[in-house]
Amino acid sequence: MEANGAATGAAAEAGYPFAQLPLGMGMALGMNERAMDGYAHLTESQKEQLIMRCRDARSKEEMQRIVNELVPEGNISALYEGPATR
């Protein structure tokens, strides 16, 4: 990401400005290129659902877990099932 907040690389290809993402999600994606790639391959509808889940995250750990699920080995279908219950 450039200093002015413009996305570069995979972020630019994903077609989203970081300014429209929840702060924690943008930061987590910026630090995890594989998760950013996973995000880039989601449909617009899936991206909207993911952003809504991230806005509802109650902790940094929950946000990180959601972003980590974007990594290709992650369980992407779990992104739409809501918070995990233990």
8 Å CB contact between 21 and 53: no
Encode pLDDT of 19-59 as tens digits. 678 888 988 998 988 999 899 889 999 999 999 999 999 99
- Whole-prediction pTM value? 0.62
Q: How much is the pLDDT for 4?
A: 45
Q: How much is the pLDDT for 82?
A: 55
pLDDT of residue 74 exceeding 60 = no
Largest CA distance in the chain: 41
